[in-house]
Structure formats: structure tokens, C-alpha cells
């Protein structure tokens, strides 16, 4: 008697993605997969779908379980050893507040999105790939929350991230990004998330956060980063595979995919402006500047990618040049925005110390001293006089990306790149031509946007006055979570941990 030969990985994958699928006989295929055609993408042969990793359930489970075991052992050690005391400076924790409210809920949204589209394709290979990614995203959302939960015991602003994600004004930027993608058809969702987000832009999100964690002594978050790295590599590969698959299936797909690339590159770029300020301003120990990161991870990697896609007739994203030119500005523009609305955030803001100003001036020789240092020094003076600047009037928001209309023109960095349009008798405002163009393509989608500023003025955010909005609706604890870092309970606690005398801003641990 001979033992049954064990299946190899390739055979297992073949069974999972091809042989377990079947042709329906008493239901129409279009009834079973009703969302497959309406976007106009034509798939002639789903067997052309190749998952480069050929992951099967048993190997996935085994591999992830091993990673999980190690990860939680480190979380436990971090908590038992009071790992939060070894970070560079308590200002660092504010980038975790931004991550936990802005990014971790997106992982959950991605889980929902992939679960949904994983049901919508008639090709079993694509369905399996989406289901695996859905599980990854759920796991990332959970492990990120567990990695950061230790900080919630010692610092403010981390206590209600999911609610804040749904309600707080600036978090509508990431939220609306994913809502836009999830409410699109399955192929647009994959272009938006698997390709533009995971492939083109993900390094600009993960490298700064995870290297930032490493540079600032946050072992819990670094370990999460390592544990997610192999998943992210898989997602990136899949993102490219998906695009090539669509492009190879039918030439009619090319203009549709191009339009989505143009749109989702821009939406991703706007979303990442939050990361730009995190890198340049919120990390006490800096990794690299936003400009350097953009040059390495977009201009070089993206350049190579779009060269590769040129043979399919795909061009680089339409507004890529605007994004490239903005690399010298956006982090400063974002930070000065959050600084002035720092009474309405769940994290602290501050004026950089002099050595940080010097670093910024070195990294941004064309722009920092000319445009942005004077702002920061002016506000620093005001603060020292006891008149810390807060902007008490709500800003105009872009109808599409929902960022305040703060970005400036490429040719004139002192004037806003605002534009507007009238659609069916209503006027709409945008931060840029690119966002305006996204609106013009699908106005019916974006006229429904819940812009937080307008929601407040409609009386739908807890009350007519800002303090009520902040406490009752946003769950921000006034005087604890918000306002300047200097004088905050976080700063006080950190100084106690480190034995630093209070109110000695320029001499504490850098």
C-alpha cells in the first residue's frame, strides 16, 4: 500500500481557486455576480488571474498564527516594562493618536471593502485573494489597536478612536477616502485600494510611521510594523497584479483604469498630506523629510512603475506634477493648519524647537525660511506673551477630499488653489482643480458629502457652540486631549516620568 502523495502548494492553490469553483446551471451568472459588469470592465478569461503568492488557507493560518504569537509576546513585554517611558519624548505619542484615529479605522474599512468585493467576482482566484486580504486588514486593525492600547493608560487622546474617526472634523479626510472607494464598484475599489493606495502610496504611509516608531523608541509599534510587513508586501504585489490583469483582459479597460488611477492617485496624495506633517513636525527624532520620502517612494518608484505600465497605454497620474511640486510645502501648510485648530483636535500641537527649525530649514531650503518659519516664530512670540493663537472661525472645506481649502498654487505658494463650480443650482468649492475634476466626473456622489463644518452649522454635531461639539459629539476632553503640548497633562506626566522641571520647553529630552 502506498501513502497518498501530499499535494504541493501549487496543487493546493489550484484546487482552492479553480477546481472548487463551478459553473452555475440553474442560476444566471449575472444574477450571482450582479456587480461584475456595470463599471464597464471587460474580463474575457478569469483563469488569467495569477496570485503570485498562491496562498492557501492552511498555510495562511499557520503563518499568521506564528507571527501573532511573537507579536503579542512583545506587546506583553512592552507593557510589563513600561515601554512608554523609553520613547524619545511624549510629543511622539501624538503621531500615534493620529494613527489610531486616522489609519487603524481604515484598516477596518479595508477589511469591510475586501469582504464585499471578495463576493463580487466570478473568478475564484480573485475572490480568494480578496478574502485573504480582508482577513489581513482585520488583523492589522486589531493588532494596531493592541499595540497602542498601552499608551492609552498613560497619555490622553487615545480613548475613543472609532467614534472620533466617524465624527471629528479632520478625520473625515481618511473616512471619506475609504467611503468613496467602498461605495464604488468592485474594480474601482481594487484600483483605489489595492493599486493606488497599497502599491503606489503605501510606502509613504508605513515607512514613515514604522521607521518613526523605531527612531523614537516605540518598540510596540515597530513590532506591529514588522508583523504587517509581509502582508503589505503581498498586498502590493497583488495591487500590481490586479491592474495588469484588467489591462491585459481588454483594451476597452485602459481608459477606465486610467481615469481611476488619476482619481485615486490624487485622493491618496491628499490623504497622505496628514502623514507629511507627522514626518516633518510630529516625530521628535526625524526619519527623513516628507520631500525626501516623496522623491524616493513616489518620484523614483512611481516613475519606474508607470514606465512599466506604459506598454499597456497607461500614463502617469494626470496631476502628478502638481503633487511633485507640492512636496516642498504641504507638511508646513498642514502643521500650521492643525496648530491653529489645535483646540479642536484629539492630539497636541506645538511650535518646533530651534534645532527642529534648523532641520526644517536645511531640508526645505527653498521654502521654509521664506514662507513658514515666520509664521511659526510669530506664533511662538504670541504664545510666550500668553496669547497662544487659535483660529476660532471654522475653515472652508473641499467638497471632495474634505481637507480645508489650504493648498496653494504651484506657481504662487501664497495664494490658495481654490476653485468652484455650480451644479444644478448649488455652488461647490474645492481645494484644487484635481478635486474639482473628480467632482465633475460624478457630481451626484459628492453633493452628498457630509462636510463636518457644514454639519456643525446645520446643528447636527451636538450643539451650536464649539465646546459642545468637541465634548458631546467628538468626545474630546477639553484641556486634556487638545490645546498646545506645552502646559498639557501629557507634558506634565512626561516631565514627572523623566524628572524634568515643568515649563522648561527648550531643555527637555529632545
Partner 1 sequence: MAVKAISDYTAVPNDLVENFNGMQLLYVHWVNHNMFCAPFTLLVSPDATLPEVFGSHIQPATAPHPESAKIDYEKIKWELNGEPFTPSQTETLVSQGIDHKSMLRMTTPGLNGLYNASF
- Grid cell digits, residue 86: 523609553
Residue 420 contacts partner 1 per CB under 8 A: yes
CB of 334 to partner 1, least distance (A): 9
Q: How far is CA 479 from the centre of its chain?
A: 27
Q: Which of 64, 122, 230, 396 binds partner 1 (CB under 8 A)?
A: 396
Q: How far is CA 166 from the centre of its chain?
A: 15
Smaller CB distance to partner 1: residue 27 or 448?
448
Exposure of 490 by Cβ count < 10 A (0-12 exposed, 13-18 middle, 19+ buried)?
Answer: buried
Q: Which of 49, 178, 428, 474 binds partner 1 (CB under 8 A)?
A: 428
Q: Which of 166, 441, 472, 496 binds partner 1 (CB under 8 A)?
A: 441
CB of 349 to partner 1, least distance (A): 12
Stretch in the footprint of partner 1 (CB under 8 A) among 91-99, 160-168, 323-331, 426-434: 426-434
- Name 507's Cβ contacts closer than 8 Å, sequence gap at least 6: 500
Ramachandran area for residue 266 (φ above 0: left; ψ -120 to 50: alpha; else beta): alpha
- Name 243's Cβ contacts closer than 8 Å, sequence gap at least 6: 191, 195, 199, 257, 309, 314
CA distance 125 to 52: 11
Q: Which of 285, 389, 410, 492 binds partner 1 (CB under 8 A)?
A: 389
Residue 2 contacts partner 1 per CB under 8 A: no
Residues 253, 93 contacting (CB under 8 angstroms): no
Residue 336 contacts partner 1 per CB under 8 A: yes
Residue 391 contacts partner 1 per CB under 8 A: yes
**DSSP structure class, residue 393:** S
Residue 457 contacts partner 1 per CB under 8 A: yes
Helices marked H in 216-252? 219-249
CB of 467 to partner 1, least distance (A): 17
Residues 395, 406 contacting (CB under 8 angstroms): yes
Residue 315 contacts partner 1 per CB under 8 A: no
Query: Between 231 and 260, how does the x/- string for binding to partner 1 read (CB under 8 A)?
Result: ------------------------------
CB of 189 to partner 1, least distance (A): 13
Smaller CB distance to partner 1: residue 152 or 337?
337
Residues 123, 51 contacting (CB under 8 angstroms): no
End-to-end CA separation in angstroms for the chain = 71
Stretch in the footprint of partner 1 (CB under 8 A) among 33-41, 53-61, 470-478, 492-500: 33-41
Residue 466 contacts partner 1 per CB under 8 A: no
- Name 254's Cβ contacts closer than 8 Å, sequence gap at least 6: 247, 312, 313, 314
Q: What is the DSSP string of 248-316?
A: HH-TTHHHHHHHHHHHHHHHHHHHHHHHHHIIIII-SS--S-HHHHIIIIIIIHHHHHHHHHGGGTPPS
Q: Which of 28, 459, 501, 507 binds partner 1 (CB under 8 A)?
A: 459
CA distance 402 to 123: 36
Smaller CB distance to partner 1: residue 247 or 397?
397
Query: Between 345 and 374, how does the x/- string for binding to partner 1 read (CB under 8 A)?
Result: -------------------------xx--x
Smaller CB distance to partner 1: residue 138 or 361?
361
Smaller CB distance to partner 1: residue 53 or 347?
347
Residues 307, 343 contacting (CB under 8 angstroms): no
Residue 467 contacts partner 1 per CB under 8 A: no
Q: Which of 394, 466, 486, 500 binds partner 1 (CB under 8 A)?
A: 394
Contacting residues toward partner 1, per CB under 8 A: 34-35, 38-40, 185, 333, 336-337, 340-341, 370-371, 374-375, 378, 389, 391-397, 404-406, 414-416, 418, 420, 424, 426-429, 440-442, 444-445, 447-451, 453-454, 457-459
Amino acid at each position: 500500500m502506498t501513502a497518498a502523495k501530499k499535494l504541493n502548494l501549487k496543487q493546493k492553490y489550484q484546487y482552492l481557486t479553480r477546481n472548487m469553483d463551478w459553473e452555475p446551471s440553474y442560476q444566471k451568472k449575472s444574477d450571482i455576480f450582479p456587480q461584475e459588469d456595470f463599471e464597464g470592465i471587460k474580463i474575457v478569461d478569469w483563469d488569467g488571474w495569477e496570485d503570485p503568492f498562491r496562498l492557501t488557507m492552511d498555510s495562511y493560518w499557520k503563518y499568521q498564527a506564528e507571527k501573532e504569537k511573537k507579536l503579542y509576546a512583545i506587546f506583553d513585554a512592552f507593557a510589563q516594562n513600561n515601554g512608554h517611558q523609553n520613547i524619545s519624548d511624549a510629543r511622539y505619542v501624538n503621531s500615534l493618536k493620529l494613527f489610531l484615529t486616522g489609519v487603524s479605522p481604515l484598516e477596518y474599512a479595508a477589511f469591510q471593502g475586501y469582504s464585499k468585493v471578495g463576493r463580487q467576482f466570478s473568478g475564484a482566484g480573485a475572490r480568494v485573494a480578496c478574502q485573504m486580504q480582508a482577513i489581513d486588514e482585520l488583523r492589522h486593525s486589531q493588532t494596531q489597536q493592541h499595540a497602542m492600547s498601552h499608551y492609552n493608560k498613560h497619555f490622553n487622546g487615545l480613548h475613543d478612536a472609532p467614534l472620533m474617526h466617524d465624527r471629528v472634523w479632520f478625520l473625515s479626510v481618511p473616512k471619506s477616502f475609504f467611503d468613496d472607494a467602498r461605495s464604488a464598484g468592485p474594480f474601482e475599489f481594487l484600483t483605489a485600494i489595492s493599486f493606488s493606495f497599497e502599491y503606489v502610496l503605501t510606502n509613504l504611509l508605513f515607512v514613515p510611521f514604522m521607521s518613526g516608531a523605531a527612531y523614537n523608541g516605540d518598540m510596540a509599534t515597530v513590532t506591529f510594523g514588522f508583523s504587517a510587513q509581509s502582508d503589505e508586501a503581498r498586498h502590493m504585489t497583488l495591487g500590481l497584479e490586479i491592474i495588469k490583469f484588467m489591462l491585459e483582459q481588454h483594451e476597452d479597460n485602459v481608459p477606465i483604469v486610467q481615469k481611476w488611477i488619476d482619481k485615486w492617485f490624487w485622493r491618496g496624495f491628499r490623504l497622505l498630506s496628514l502623514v507629511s506633517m507627522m514626518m516633518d513636525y510630529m516625530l521628535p527624532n526625524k526619519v527623513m523629510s516628507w520631500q525626501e520620502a516623496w522623491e524616493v517612494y513616489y518620484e523614483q518608484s512611481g516613475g519606474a512603475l508607470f514606465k512599466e505600465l506604459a506598454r499597456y497605454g497607461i500614463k502617469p497620474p494626470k496631476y502628478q506634477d502638481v503633487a511633485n511640486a507640492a512636496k516642498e510645502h504641504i507638511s508646513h501648510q498642514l502643521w500650521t493648519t492643525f496648530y491653529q485648530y489645535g483646540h479642536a483636535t484629539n492630539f497636541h500641537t506645538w511650535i518646533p524647537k530651534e534645532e527642529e527649525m534648523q532641520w526644517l530649514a536645511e531640508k526645505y531650503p527653498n521654502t521654509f525660511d521664506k514662507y513658514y518659519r515666520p509664521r511659526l516664530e510669530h506664533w511662538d512670540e504670541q504664545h510666550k506673551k500668553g496669547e497662544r493663537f487659535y483660529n476660532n472661525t471654522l475653515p472652508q472645506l473641499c467638497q471632495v477630499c474634505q481637507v480645508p481649502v489650504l493648498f496653494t498654487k504651484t506657481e504662487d505658494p501664497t495664494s490658495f488653489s481654490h476653485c468652484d463650480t455650480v451644479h444644478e443650482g448649488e455652488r461647490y468649492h474645492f481645494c484644487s482643480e484635481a478635486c474639482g475634476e473628480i467632482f465633475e466626473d460624478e457630481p451626484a456622489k459628492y453633493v452628498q458629502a457630509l462636510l463636518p463644518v457644514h454639519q456643525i452649522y446645520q446643528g447636527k454635531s451636538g450643539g451650536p457652540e464649539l465646546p459642545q461639539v468637541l465634548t458631546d459629539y467628538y468626545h474630546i476632553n477639553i484641556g486634556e486631549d487638545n490645546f498646545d503640548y506645552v502646559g498639557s497633562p501629557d507634558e506634565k506626566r512626561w516631565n514627572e516620568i523623566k524628572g524634568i522641571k515643568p515649563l522648561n520647553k527648550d531643555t527637555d529630552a529632545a
